[in-house]
Structure formats: structure tokens, C-alpha cells
Structure 1
Amino acid sequence: MKQAMYALGRLKTGTMNKTEAAYDQYLAGLQHDGKILWREFEAVKLRLADNTFYTPDFAVLSADGVLEFHEVKGYWQDDARVKIKVAAARFPARFVAIKARTKKEGGGWEVEAF
């Protein structure tokens, strides 16, 4: 049976992993084209409950003025999916999860709205 391999520990706060850095470059292109107005990595920490917080990977201001929170994932762990669902139900913003498509799948980004 194949066992999933996960990264050892987390990166230092404010440090992007390779997938997040690639997505940041994608967002930079959207910002240059005027499709988004602003983006910031780990800019917001949301309180979900006592001693429970959620820090979205990116805060993004869309061209239509809607605040969005983008979560970039290679894979989901149960607690992360629960946190984004709770945040989406609690806060008046658009929440989306972003997953990189493989080259075999045509590349680009897969988007899941919450």
C-alpha cells in the first residue's frame, strides 16, 4: 500500500511554498492586466472560535471590488477544509480553494468556491 508523503513541518510565517509562489506569479499577471486590484500573502488572520484561527494564503481584491480569500492547496487535510467552510459561512467575503493542475491535465489552476 502506498503511503502519502507530506512535508515535514510548516514554513516560516510569510514564506511561500513553490505552489504558492507560482500562484502569486499568476495573480501578479492578473493584477497587471487589471483583473484584480490588490493581492497580499497571509495578510489576514480570521478568528473562527476561541483559540481557533484561519489564515488564508492570499487576500485578493477583485476588479469588481469584492474581497476574496484564496487558499492554495496541493492536497487537503480535513481540518483545513473545515476551517475554510466555517470562514466562508461566517465572513462576508468570497472564499476559494486553488489547486495546481498537472501538465498532463493541461496546467493552470483548478478553482473550488465555498
Structure 2
Amino acid sequence: MAPPTEKVLQQRPAVAASVDLFLGMNQTEKRRAIELEAMKRNHQIASWRYEAVTLKLANDCRYTPDFLVINLLGQMTFEEVKGHWRDDARVKIRVAAAKFPEFAFVALRLEKGQWCMEVF
């Protein structure tokens, strides 16, 4: 009878999977995402997600805000980040704010390096 063979497991170093937090974002969205990530790491907000939620506004009409931001109290704000506004985007965020009053909706527009905020 042959002796039992021992399997030698090769040790591989643990490697964390790399996640691109900015995948699919334009430059304006990426700038805001960098700020949100810094706020999260400095414990100013609990969390943020990019295009994580799609809201149904009506039959065949949906709206996906750029960012979902959760503050330290668990309250959710949807942020729309724009370099410039198109009429349909402004209408959708207004309809969303009216239909879902339990959430805050804000638009951020970058002007001369500063964010201009509009609350809906």
C-alpha cells in the first residue's frame, strides 16, 4: 500500500481587489466623487454611491440621480452634478423632488471652480 500523499498548499499573498470608484463618471462627477470620498473618510458623511438608485417618475419615465449621499444621521440626499443644465434634466429632478418629499434633492453646478447649489 502506498503512503498517503500530502498536498502542499501554496501560500499566496492576500491581495485586495482594486475598485475604480470613478468608473463611468465624467470629469465634473469625478471631482464631486473625490470630495464625497474625502468627506466620508473624514467622518462628515456616512456613505455615498454613484448612480445607485433609479426612481420611477411615471410610466416609461425614470430618473437616476448622479449621487446618493447618506449623512451621519442616515438621511438621504440625491445630488445631480452638472456642468450645464438641459431642460429635461431640470424637469426630472423637480418631478422627483415633488414625488419623493422624504428625500432631499440638490443640484450642484460648477462655476469658476466653485459649486453652486440649487435645492429642490
Do they fold alike, i.e. is TM over 0.5?
A: yes
| CA RMSD between the two structures | 1.1
Q: How does 1:41-80 map to 2 (within 5 A)?
A: 41-80=50-89
Give deviations 1:23-81, integer Å, cap 9, x for gaps: 10011111111111010100000000000000000011012321010000011111110
> Paired residue for 1:97, among 83, 98, 107?
107
For 2:114, the equivalent position in structure 1 comes to: 108
Partner SS for 2:85:
coil
Distance 2:35 2:114 in 1: 9
Distance 1:100 1:34 in 2: 24
Partner SS for 2:73:
coil
For 1:40, the equivalent position in structure 2 comes to: 49
Distance 2:91 2:116 in 1: 19
Q: Scaled by the length of structure 2, what TM-score is found?
A: 0.77
> Paired residue for 1:17, among 3, 26, 31?
26
Which ranges of 4 or more aligned residues in structure 1 deviate by more than 6 Å? none
Amino acid at match of 1:108: Q
Partner SS for 2:43:
coil
Amino acid at match of 2:110: A
The number of residue pairs the alignment matches comes to 97
Partner SS for 1:36:
coil
Distance 1:64 1:109 in 2: 24
Distance 1:109 1:76 in 2: 14
Q: Scaled by the length of structure 1, what TM-score is found?
A: 0.81
Please, which runs of 5 or more residues in structure 1 have no aligned partner?
1-13
